[in-house]
Amino acid sequence: MLYHVNDWDDAYANGPHIAGADAYPPRWTELAQVFRAQHPPQPIGRGDLFRPDGIAKGLAVFIHGGYWMKFDPSVWSHFAAGPLSAGWAVLMPAYTLAPTARIAQMTTEVAQAITEAASQVSGPIAITGHSAGGHLAARMICDDGTLPQSTADRISSCVPISALTDLRPLMRTAMNKTLHIDAAEAALESPALLQPRTGIPVTAWVGGAERPEFIRQSRLLADIWAGMGVATETVVDPGRHHFDVIEGLRDASSPLTRRLLRPD
């Protein structure tokens, strides 16, 4: 069967295809507030660093989504629960949103936050992110000097979740009136078009009930980077949609958290 997108706005619209979609952000915010009261974070720039009891086993990074236009780390704090309970410190970096910032600036800001947190937490670094944050997670392991070598050498895994890995289709959406992605930025900021660092296992994780474009984008990254010598896999999480695909990060024993921390 031919795959052809006629409506690019609908292809990247998640809410209209998820029952009760409007309830997710307020629910996340409420759960995050409870979590933050129980686990007060340390500021890292405008983001948050959650520390476990005792010496951290390493640094896990979760980069939030919102199409580079919405949210901040305080909405997502409870998704630090899985790695934190496994004994890892968890960084949730903040970044300037569009239209104030272009995506290239967001890449730089996230890299700076990771570098600062890495100077305070020893051990391996495991990076994940959701949707636009999945794009930024993958962007962190591109071999173009985004992260300092000393920081990049510590990365033990990268798990982009429902990631936007090729920005060119986004240029066809109404969102681009805010994002202002052009051909030059798409070429420089699309992980699927860039050379990845080798030696870092990459799991492109996506929900089985997501929009076809998100599944295609996840497979695209894994397939292209596999051809560049990276160990990659695509995990299609059965029944999960774009808003609940990250739930596993709340549980240290979930397949998603275990894939990120790679304890085996």
Q: How much is the pLDDT for 207?
A: 98
Distance CA 52, CA 35 (A): 13
Q: How much is the pLDDT for 170?
A: 98
Note the residue count of the chain.
Answer: 264
The model carries a pTM of 0.97
Q: In 72-193, which ranges are E strands?
A: 89-92, 125-130, 155-161
Give the CA distances from residue 176 to residues 134, 168, 238, 240, in Å, rounded to whole numbers and listed in that order: 18, 10, 31, 27
Q: How much is the pLDDT for 264?
A: 63
Distance CA 203, CA 158 (A): 6
The pair of three-digit structure tokens given for residue 237, joined into one six-digit string: 């999480």
pLDDT (tens digit per residue) in 59-99: 999 999 999 999 999 999 999 999 999 999 999 999 999 99
Distance CA 48, CA 71 (A): 14
pLDDT tens track of the chain, all 264 residues? Answer: 899 999 999 999 999 999 999 999 999 999 999 999 999 999 999 999 999 999 999 999 999 999 999 999 999 999 999 999 999 999 999 999 999 999 999 999 999 999 999 999 999 999 999 999 999 999 999 999 999 999 999 999 999 999 999 999 999 999 999 999 999 999 999 999 999 999 999 999 999 999 999 999 999 999 999 999 999 999 999 999 999 999 999 999 999 999 999 976
Q: How much is the pLDDT for 263?
A: 78
Taken in order of first residue, the domains within the chain and their CATH numbers are: 8-261 (3.40.50.1820)
Instruction: Say how many C-beta atoms besides its own lie within 10 A of residue 193's C-beta.
Output: 15
Q: How much is the pLDDT for 58?
A: 98
- Measured between alpha carbons, how far apart are the two ends of the chain, in Å? 39
Distance CA 120, CA 212 (A): 40
pLDDT (tens digit per residue) in 228-246: 999 999 999 999 999 999 9
Distance CA 120, CA 58 (A): 10
Q: How much is the pLDDT for 1?
A: 86
The pair of three-digit structure tokens given for residue 231, joined into one six-digit string: 């160990």
Distance CA 243, CA 51 (A): 26
Coil, strand or helix: which one is 224? helix
**176 burial via Cβ count (<10 Å: 0-12, 13-18, 19+):** middle
Do 73 and 64 touch, CB atoms closer than 8 A?
A: yes
